[in-house]
Structure 1
Amino acid sequence: MKLTRWIALTPLFAAAAAQAHTDGSAHAHLSGFVAGALHPLTGPDHLAAMLAVGLWSALALKSPLRAPLAFALSLLLGAGLAMATGWQLPAVEAGITVSLAVLGLLVALRLAMPPAAGAATAAILAFSHGAAHGLELQGVAALAGMVLTTLALHGTGLALGWKLRAAPALARGLLGASVAALALARLGGVA
């Protein structure tokens, strides 16, 4: 596939980032399976992170399913903890911003690591996303919907990553850089 086609995908990851949602104003009290399932699709930060996990896993990891599954499990744990207790993770916005920067670099550099390290990295990066979303989800159905959509986005990222294995390094680099750009936009207050 031509480089221009892969470059054309870059805007998918470079959309302006929304602040994660801990103030309750963006997605106040989502309830029900459908609301939870649609939620990951409404924030560029969540969308880019989920796709990037799949991309990185397909591009660089020997056991590409471990990192997405670890991410989803940690997301579930963070959200479940926040939902059950009302606990707000300190510096949750910073955690989400760091996760975008790291995921962007992992994709851009096609950074390989052992399966356990890849899964642990994904789990650490996921927890802040889960904690932020857990404060706005109401009920197990909404949480289940969010986690299932997250897994679907990981699968989409995996499929795209497998296609990108043969693509020029520049295309992969641009996709990763666009995810990291979301972190810079958040830091700069642009998004």
Structure 2
Amino acid sequence: MRHTARTALAVAAFSVLPQLAFAHTGVGATHGFWHGFEHPVTGLDHVLAMVTVGIFAYQLGGRAIWAVPTTFVALMAVGGALGISGIDVPFVELGIALSVVVLGAAVAFGVKAPLALAMAVVGFFAIFHGHAHGAEMPDDASGLAYGMGFMIATGLLHLAGIGAGMAIGRFGETHGTRYVRGAGAAVALAGIGLVTGIL
């Protein structure tokens, strides 16, 4: 089961590389990388969701610490390829906003989901984030460089979330858990603000 899940993720990640590579190849590689890198880190919705994925992974512990963020990045690449290719995904903005609500709530309530379910949930939402990144790729950017940019930025945001969870956890088992859940509640509230258009 574990081997199958890892293989599926690897296939999903590598299957989109040709599509990313052939989108505007050889044009504006550096330009594409930095545009891709800045896209996730300049949007509040993306930052909140991706950092919270890291916190959620930390909260679950064990294999989830690497499997949950890896799933997000792999499925986000699929969504990015769809966006670059001009293939429509419905309700992208709503999906992104709801990801903030759901992930924040999962952390706030200390949900101990089975690993497969946690991977499925973050993977589902990752497609919306990836599609948004891909659809907004500049016309003169290299698709491969742009894709690598937003994937690396996302990975760093996940690491920031894992690090934040670990740092907060150092306050002690009781207080640390309370602070982590409080952070999740704040994220969920921000997500509600995004869904309703307040933020």
1: distance between equivalents of 2:196 and 2:49? 19
What corresponds to 2:179 in structure 1?
171
Residue 130 of structure 2 aligns to a residue whose secondary structure is helix
| C-alpha contact (below 8 Å) 2:98/2:195 kept by paired residues | no
5+ residue gaps, structure 2, are: 1-30
Which residue of the other structure, out of 184, 188, 191, is the alignment partner of 2:196?
A: 188
Match of 2:109 in 1: 109
**Cα shift at 1:177:** 1.3
Aligned counterparts, 1:9-158, within 5 A: 31-63=31-63, 64-84=65-85, 86-137=86-137, 138=141, 139-158=143-162
Distance in 1, Cα, partners of 2:48 & 2:150: 15
Q: Structure 1: where are the runs of 5+ without partners?
A: 1-30
Cα shift readout 1:124-162 (whole Å, capped 9, x = no counterpart): 121111111110124211111000010011111111112
Q: CA deviation at 1:163?
A: 2.3
Paired residue total = 161
Q: Kindly name which structure, 1 or 2, has the bigger radius of gyration based on alpha carbons.
A: 2
- Share of identical aligned residues, percent? 32
Note the alpha carbon deviations across 1:143-186, whole angstroms, 9 max, x for none. Answer: 11000010011111111112233442331222111211222112
Given that residues 95 and 125 in structure 1 are in contact (C-alpha distance below 8 angstroms), is that contact kept between their aligned partners in structure 2? yes
Q: Which has the higher helix share?
A: 2
Q: Which residue identity lines up with residue 42 of structure 1 in the other structure?
A: T
Give, in angstroms, the shift of residue 122 of structure 1. Answer: 1.3
Q: Is the contact made by 1:78 and 1:129 (CA closer than 8 Å) also made in structure 2? A: yes
Amino acid at match of 1:114: P
- The answer as to whether partners of 1:66 and 1:118 remain within 8 angstroms in 2 is no
For 2:118 and 2:195, the matched residues in 1 are separated by 26
Structure 1-normalised TM-score? Answer: 0.78
Using the alignment, how far apart are the partners of 1:97 and 1:136 within structure 2?
Answer: 17
Query: SS of the residue aligned with 1:125?
Result: helix
Cα drift, residue 123 of structure 1: 0.5
> Alignment RMSD, CA only?
1.7
* AA in 2 matched with 1:159: G
Does the CA-based 8 Å contact 2:52-2:104 persist in structure 1?
yes
Q: Secondary structure at the match of 1:112?
A: coil
Tell me the CA shift for residue 118 of structure 1. Answer: 1.8
